[in-house]
Amino acid sequence: MCLNPSLEKVRFVLEFVRYGASRCVEYKRKDLSWLKELAQRERTRQRKLHELAASGEHELKASPGRHCAWCPLLLKGCPVAKTNPYSQMTAEERLRFALWLQEAEKQNTKVLKDLMVERGLICYRDGNQGAYVADFVPVEKRFYPYRDAVAILDEWFRTHPPMSRA
Ligand code: SF4
């Protein structure tokens, strides 16, 4: 609006990448004065932060999160790389790891089921006294002879044409 006097309002969609949320705001010409004031104040604060970082006296804290996916320092230069879960692997390595976990889970479940067949219920208690149990859970299943079921379904579809089913 400062550069274009014909504009009366501007609409912004702000993306808060760290929190995965977005917010829409609209500013009118009458908001210009306080917006300028706010921008100048924030610019001063930003400059101070840059000076602090450049002086090396204060260590600026980095906090990892979803926003790391866009950060150019992610795989090289992140100050908290050692503990940042986003910088431990590349995206491709993550996918490979996910596939490996999937396969490991399948294999582990298969072995666990074989052990349960042999030994019955398996219990485990962790250091916090949390109890975990692996056991077969009966699932009720019903089977209907195909020949009988088809005749019943045919009859149902015949007496319930698509229009009357809605
Ligand atoms: S990768 Fe590191 S430097 Fe980049 S946003 Fe994440 S925590 Fe901050």
Domain range for 17: 1-57
Establish if 139 belongs to a structural domain.
yes
Predicted confidence band of residue 119 (pLDDT cuts 50, 70, 90)? very high
Report the nearest atom of ligand 1 relative to the CA of 84. Answer: 7
Predicted confidence band of residue 19 (pLDDT cuts 50, 70, 90)? confident
| Beta-carbon contacts of residue 80 (< 8 Å; ≥ 6 apart) | 62, 63, 64
Q: How far is Cα 74 from Cα 19, in angstroms, rounded to an integer?
A: 17
| Adjacent-strand bridge partners of 134 | 122
Of 89-98, 107-116, 147-156, the one with minimum mean pLDDT is 147-156
Q: How far is Cα 156 from Cα 26, in angstroms, rounded to an integer?
A: 57
Pocket of ligand 1 (CB under 6 A): 62, 64, 67-68, 71, 73-74, 78, 80, 84, 87
Q: What is the mean pLDDT of residues 135-150?
A: 89
**Contact indicator for 64, 82 with CB cutoff of 8 Å:** no
Give me 43's structure tokens.
Answer: 């610019």
**pLDDT of 92:** 94
Nearest CA to ligand 1 atom 8: 62
If one counts every other C-beta atom within 10 angstroms of the C-beta of residue 111, the result is: 10
My answer on whether 52 and 98 are in the same domain is no
User: Ligand 1 centre and the CA of 69: distance in Å?
Assistant: 9
Burial-class residue 68 by CB neighbours within 10 Å (0-12, 13-18, 19+): buried
**pLDDT of 166:** 54
Return the percentage of the chain with pLDDT > 90, whole number. 51
Dihedral of CA atoms 117, 120, 124, 125 in degrees, nearest 10, equals 170
**pLDDT of 31:** 93
Q: How far is Cα 25 from Cα 99, in angstroms, rounded to an integer?
A: 42
Establish if 96 belongs to a structural domain.
yes
Establish if 73 belongs to a structural domain.
no
Identify the domain boundary among 11, 32, 57.
57
Give me 36's structure tokens.
Answer: 């300028």
Report the nearest atom of ligand 1 relative to the CA of 87. Answer: 1
Ranges of H-type helices in 56-145: 91-119
Report the nearest atom of ligand 1 relative to the CA of 65. Answer: 6
Nearest CA-CA partner of 65 in 16, 97, 19, 22: 19
Going by the DSSP 8-state scheme, the letter that residue 30 receives in this structure is: G
My answer on whether 96 and 47 are in the same domain is no
**pLDDT of 161:** 82
Establish if 64 belongs to a structural domain.
no
Nearest CA to ligand 1 atom 5: 68
Predicted confidence band of residue 3 (pLDDT cuts 50, 70, 90)? confident
How many domains are contained in the chain? 2
* pLDDT at residue 41 greater than cutoff 90: yes
**pLDDT of 2:** 83
